[in-house]
Amino acid sequence: MKRMALSLMAISMLVGVANAQLKVNTKAIGAVGKGVKAATYSDADAARDAAAGVKWMDEHNPVADANDPYAVRLNKIFGKHKSEDGLNLNYKVYKVVDINAFACADGSVRVFSSLMDIMSDDELLAVIGHEIGHVRNHDSKDAMKAALTRSAVADAAGSQSGVASALTESQLGALAEAMMDSKHSRKQETDADMYSYDFMKKHGYNVMGAYNAFMTLASLSEGSGAQASKFQKMMNSHPDSKQRAEEVKKKAQKDGLWKEADIKKIK
């Protein structure tokens, strides 16, 4: 299994914004753009620009093809939610070692195979629900705006329509990287967690999956070694995993959906 093709992207994703190597890539693009005018940047703009960034990522990362067991499994889990909550969603698996998943403003959700390796179907549903929540709450649009500014293609994007299609290969790469580097606020993360819980409940899924998903993430942050430390840094922008699990527990108990027996045994 490969690392993500864009190694800088993978690193920035794991380590965060303040990364020396990230600068190298940004420098290649030029000065930072002036930013995107908040008032005029629409959902459609965000969808268009996100689609361009995702297209680049799909072309530069090992996407599981339709017959790949990972793709078959994700299709089984995600297939019935393509039109969730009025959204138009699409999904793929990246066969990479990084443990992550992300959603973009155009409704693209990408799940990494290494995350699938450590999570049950119910846990993955909770992650998917969380990502859909980001799209539904327009967090992905905010993230897209920030990514455009950081990737220095904002000037171009602000000055003409359909500009994403006119970006050069390296500009698209920078845009993709900035998208991966986008952090949501804690409030956005908490809201997405709430959305995820409601998503599980609404569809009659086992909400213990949400609890177990957060406990799995918590276990990854524990321990020592380079992998744990990378993961801790990545999770810095999120509320504490155990706290997130506790929130699920409170809701589940209130709803009568808490099942002690379904708590995952984590080694």
Is 131 known to be catalytic?
yes
Q: Which residues bind Zn ion (CB under 5 A)?
A: 189, 192
- Shorter beta-carbon distance to Zn ion: residue 238 or 251: 238
- Shorter beta-carbon distance to Zn ion: residue 57 or 101: 101
CA 241 – CA 221 distance, rounded (Å): 9
Name the active-site residue from 84, 131, 177, 189. 131
Beta carbon of residue 216, minimum distance to Zn ion (angstroms, whole number): 15
130 half-sphere exposure, CB direction, 13 A CA radius = 26
Beta carbon of residue 37, minimum distance to Zn ion (angstroms, whole number): 26
- Helix 7-15 and helix 169-181, axial crossing angle in degrees, nearest 10: 20
To the nearest 10°, report the CA torsion of 9, 10, 12, 16.
140
- Shorter beta-carbon distance to Zn ion: residue 149 or 241: 241
SS3 of residue 253 by DSSP:
helix
How far is the first Cα of the chain from the last one, in angstroms, to the nearest whole number? 24
Beta carbon of residue 103, minimum distance to Zn ion (angstroms, whole number): 8
Kindly give, in sequence order, each residue whose CB lies less than 8 Å from that of residue 84, ignoring residues fewer than 6 positions away.
132, 199
- Shorter beta-carbon distance to Zn ion: residue 114 or 237: 237
Q: Give the tokens for residue 54.
A: 């995702």
Beta carbon of residue 90, minimum distance to Zn ion (angstroms, whole number): 18
Give the residue numbers marked as catalytic: 131
